């Protein structure tokens, strides 16, 4: 009301939300009838390791083996990267007849109409007869999973009503930026709406055992109203990354209360949705040019999985004053440091060269084990000498130009051997632990300078192809 009917004052009304109460005074959760009751630890139900198995093995791997009932999972990523596609695919798989769950899956979208989602679903199901641009096309078909419900809704109260009606086992909210709580004044997507909506969804999950997947967009401006404010509210944070213009997508867990973090699942975006890549190293190396200068193979650990990736370096004379250093897939400061070490400790002339480094396949490498490959790729480009094609490089480069040991060496070496690499240049081992794997030649060395001497094929210029 604008005017108070009693005293006549304008704008004197303040909104206050009244929570329904039980007789004993305990508060209910909006949209839910559950009440909290303290229980003895031994009496709390549910096996600790109870998980719903998934048919998408790469997704399951990132979650730590499957879906934990009652957990809240945030899937973040740039707009257009494939979050909706991934979760619709998961929803269809989990709602299909062969799936282990008996209750429905509810997919709530604030971004697309039910029909749009259905068309996407048809595309994923590879219904060849469907013409996606024909709006009058009849999409009714028996191929769609019986137990998948779609609704376009942004009002969180209505979403909770739908949840009570459908009683799903999995709830997908696409996206948190479009959902809003009507009694809050701020607009959808604002920090307080995002945070409050997520908290209520968490309460829903914890009291009902429904697993909630929340999609969140990462904004270029540093994700202020995006997943960052949510990370501590949810149990698991997954990021879907990759280059929009390339087909590989990496699903990475950055927080997981129920599994290892930094676990990575690899997918490829195809015409008919995301396809799992079960042997990513092979895929990342597929387009490599053997014997080209400026290319080196690193072995990086993504969670528990070793991945072989090609690192490309390119140097070219600077045309105006300041030489540029442009990394793609590695950290900028790490590149500066590597260039400084190559200049001072190896004696390469880089002061008048622009340096570009690219990690092939859109992967982002954060661990220092790739330092050696980065340094060698740059050196190989400056000298225009290719690297031994059958060799991988593993090691951190220190400020003195020394090579430093990195963890999980044997897992890395075994993966390299499995893919047919014959040799590995690694930091000299000072402490002896597990013996080296036998099916790959190990070349231990202490300095970057020496690694270059061993690795670069001298004299052979630009024979590659
Ligand atoms: P989408 O899941 O809508 O992204 P997000 O929800 O993260 O914003 O993905 C959109 C992109 O994926 C779009 O550019 C089209 C592409 N795509 C495919 O290449 N193949 C497919 O089968 C589907 C469904 C989408
Ligand atoms: Mg989307």
| CA distance linking residue 180 with residue 192, whole number of Å | 10
Q: 80: Cβ below 6 Å to ligand 1?
A: yes
Name the strands in the sheet holding 441-445, side by side, starting at the edge strand that comes first in the sequence: 325-328, 353-359, 305-317, 295-302, 391-393, 423-427, 441-445
pTM: 0.74
| CA distance linking residue 415 with residue 80, whole number of Å | 32
- Please determine, for residue 75, whether its predicted confidence score (pLDDT) is greater than 60: yes
| CA distance linking residue 436 with residue 43, whole number of Å | 48
Given the CA of residue 79, which atom of ligand 1 is nearest to it?
8
47 or 270, higher pLDDT: 270
Q: 227: Cβ below 6 Å to ligand 1?
A: no
When pLDDT is cut at 50, 70 and 90, the band that residue 464 belongs to is: very low
Q: 271: Cβ below 6 Å to ligand 1?
A: yes
CA of 273 to the centre of ligand 1 (A): 7
What does each C-alpha distance from 53 to 5, 6, 36, 398 come to in angstroms? Answer: 60, 61, 29, 44
Percent of the chain with pLDDT over 90: 47
- Please determine, for residue 337, whether its predicted confidence score (pLDDT) is greater than 60: yes
Interior angle at CA 53, CA 282 and CA 160, nearest 5: 120
For ligand 1, atom 16, the nearest C-alpha belongs to 82
What would the DSSP string read from start to end of 385-422?
Answer: -BBPTTEEE--EE-TTSBEE--S-HHHHHHHHHHTT--
Average pLDDT, the chain: 85
Q: 110: Cβ below 6 Å to ligand 1?
A: no
Q: 82: Cβ below 6 Å to ligand 1?
A: yes
What burial letters (b/e) apply to 112-125, b meaning 16+ CB within 10 Å?
A: beeeebbbbbbbbb
When pLDDT is cut at 50, 70 and 90, the band that residue 73 belongs to is: very high
Q: What is the pLDDT, as a whole number, of residue 280?
A: 83
- Window from 21-25, 274-278, 352-356 with minimum mean pLDDT: 21-25
**Mean local confidence (pLDDT), 142-161:** 90
Instruction: Say how far residue 404 (Cα) sits from the centre of its chain.
Output: 28
Q: What is the pLDDT, as a whole number, of residue 361?
A: 81
Any idea how long the chain is?
465
| CA distance linking residue 41 with residue 140, whole number of Å | 49
Q: 88: Cβ below 6 Å to ligand 1?
A: no
When pLDDT is cut at 50, 70 and 90, the band that residue 287 belongs to is: confident
Q: What is the pLDDT, as a whole number, of residue 226?
A: 55
Q: What is the pLDDT, as a whole number, of residue 258?
A: 86
CA of 274 to the centre of ligand 1 (A): 9
For ligand 1, atom 8, the nearest C-alpha belongs to 80
Q: 34: Cβ below 6 Å to ligand 1?
A: no
Given the CA of residue 77, which atom of ligand 1 is nearest to it?
7
CA of 144 to the centre of ligand 1 (A): 19
Residue 171 has phi, psi (to 5 degrees) of -120, 130
pLDDT tens by residue, 216-256: 987 655 454 456 678 889 999 998 988 777 788 889 888 88
Which ligand number lies closest to the CA of residue 110? 2
When pLDDT is cut at 50, 70 and 90, the band that residue 427 belongs to is: very high
Percent of the chain with pLDDT over 70: 87
pLDDT tens by residue, 92-139: 999 988 777 888 999 999 999 999 999 999 888 864 444 444 455 555
> Among positive and negative, which fits the CA dihedral 96, 102, 106, 107?
negative
CA of 82 to the centre of ligand 1 (A): 4
For ligand 1, atom 2, the nearest C-alpha belongs to 82
Q: 85: Cβ below 6 Å to ligand 1?
A: yes
Given the CA of residue 271, which atom of ligand 1 is nearest to it?
20
Given the CA of residue 240, which atom of ligand 1 is nearest to it?
7
Given the CA of residue 269, which atom of ligand 1 is nearest to it?
19
- Please determine, for residue 29, whether its predicted confidence score (pLDDT) is greater than 90: no
Q: What is the pLDDT, as a whole number, of residue 283?
A: 80
CA of 143 to the centre of ligand 1 (A): 21
Given the CA of residue 85, which atom of ligand 1 is nearest to it?
2
Residues 6+ apart with CB under 8 A from 15: 183
For ligand 1, atom 14, the nearest C-alpha belongs to 80
Given the CA of residue 175, which atom of ligand 1 is nearest to it?
6
Q: 141: Cβ below 6 Å to ligand 1?
A: no
pLDDT tens by residue, 36-47: 788 888 887 765
Q: What is the pLDDT, as a whole number, of residue 146?
A: 87
When pLDDT is cut at 50, 70 and 90, the band that residue 433 belongs to is: confident
CA of 378 to the centre of ligand 1 (A): 35
For ligand 1, atom 13, the nearest C-alpha belongs to 80
CA of 150 to the centre of ligand 2 (A): 14
pLDDT tens by residue, 178-191: 999 998 888 887 88
- Please determine, for residue 23, whether its predicted confidence score (pLDDT) is greater than 70: no
| CA distance linking residue 120 with residue 95, whole number of Å | 16
Q: What is the pLDDT, as a whole number, of residue 250?
A: 87
Q: What is the pLDDT, as a whole number, of residue 17?
A: 67
Given the CA of residue 78, which atom of ligand 1 is nearest to it?
7
Instruction: Name the 3-class secondary structure at 68.
Output: coil
What would the DSSP string read from start to end of 317-382?
Answer: E-SSSSPPEEEESS-HHHHHHHHHHHHHTS----TTEEEEEEETTS----SGGGHHHHHHHHHHHH
pLDDT tens by residue, 347-367: 999 999 999 999 988 788 989
| CA distance linking residue 82 with residue 248, whole number of Å | 11
For ligand 1, atom 25, the nearest C-alpha belongs to 273
CA of 244 to the centre of ligand 1 (A): 10
CA of 269 to the centre of ligand 2 (A): 14
Q: What is the dihedral of CA 321, 326, 331, 334, to 10 degrees?
A: -50
Q: At what angle do helices 332-344 and 371-383 cross, to 10 degrees?
A: 60
């Amino acid at each position: 009301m604008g005017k108070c009917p009693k005293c006549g004052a304008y704008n004197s009304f303040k909104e206050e939300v009244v929570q329904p109460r039980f007789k004993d005074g305990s508060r209910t959760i909006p949209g839910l009838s559950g009440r909290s009751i303290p229980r003895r630890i031994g009496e709390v139900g549910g096996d600790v390791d109870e998980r719903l198995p998934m048919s998408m093995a790469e997704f399951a791997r990132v979650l730590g083996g499957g879906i934990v009932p009652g957990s809240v999972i945030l899937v973040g990523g740039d707009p257009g990267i494939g979050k909706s596609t991934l979760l619709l695919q998961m929803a269809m798989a989990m709602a299909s007849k062969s799936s282990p769950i008996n209750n429905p899956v509810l997919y709530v979208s604030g971004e697309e109409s039910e029909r749009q989602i259905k068309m996407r679903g048809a595309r994923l199901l590879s219904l060849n007869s469907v013409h996606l641009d024909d709006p009058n096309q009849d999409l009714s078909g028996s191929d769609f999973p019986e137990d998948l419900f779609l609704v376009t809704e942004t009002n969180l109260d209505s979403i909770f009503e739908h949840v009570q009606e459908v009683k799903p086992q999995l709830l997908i909210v696409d996206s948190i930026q479009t959902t809003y709580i009507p009694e809050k004044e701020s607009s959808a997507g604002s920090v307080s709406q995002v945070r409050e909506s997520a908290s209520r969804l968490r309460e829903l999950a914890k009291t009902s055992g429904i697993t909630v997947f929340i999609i969140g967009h990462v904004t270029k401006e540093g994700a202020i109203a995006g997943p960052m404010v949510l990370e501590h509210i949810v149990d698991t944070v997954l990021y879907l990354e990759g280059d929009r213009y390339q087909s590989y997508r990496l699903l990475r867990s950055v927080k997981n209360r129920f599994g290892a973090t930094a676990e990575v699942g690899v997918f490829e975006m195809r015409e008919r949705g995301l396809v799992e890549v079960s042997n990513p190293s092979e895929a990342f190396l597929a387009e490599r040019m053997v014997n080209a200068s400026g290319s080196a193979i690193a072995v990086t650990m993504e969670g528990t999985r070793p991945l072989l990736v090609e690192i490309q370096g390119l140097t070219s004379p600077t045309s105006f004053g300041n030489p540029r250093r442009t990394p793609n897939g590695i950290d900028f400061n790490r590149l500066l440091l590597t260039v400084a070490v190559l200049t001072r400790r190896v004696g390469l002339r880089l002061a008048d060269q622009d340096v570009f480094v690219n990690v092939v396949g859109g992967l982002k490498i954060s661990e220092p084990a790739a330092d050696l490959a980065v340094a060698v790729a740059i050196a190989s480009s400056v000298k225009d000498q290719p690297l031994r094609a059958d060799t991988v490089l593993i090691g951190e480069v220190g400020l003195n130009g020394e090579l430093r040991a990195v963890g999980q060496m044997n897992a890395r070496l075994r993966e390299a051997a499995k893919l047919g690499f014959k040799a590995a240049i690694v930091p000299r081992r000072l402490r002896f632990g597990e013996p080296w794997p036998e099916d790959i030649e190990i070349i231990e060395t202490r300095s970057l300078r020496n690694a270059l001497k061993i690795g670069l094929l001298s004299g052979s210029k630009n024979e590659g192809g």
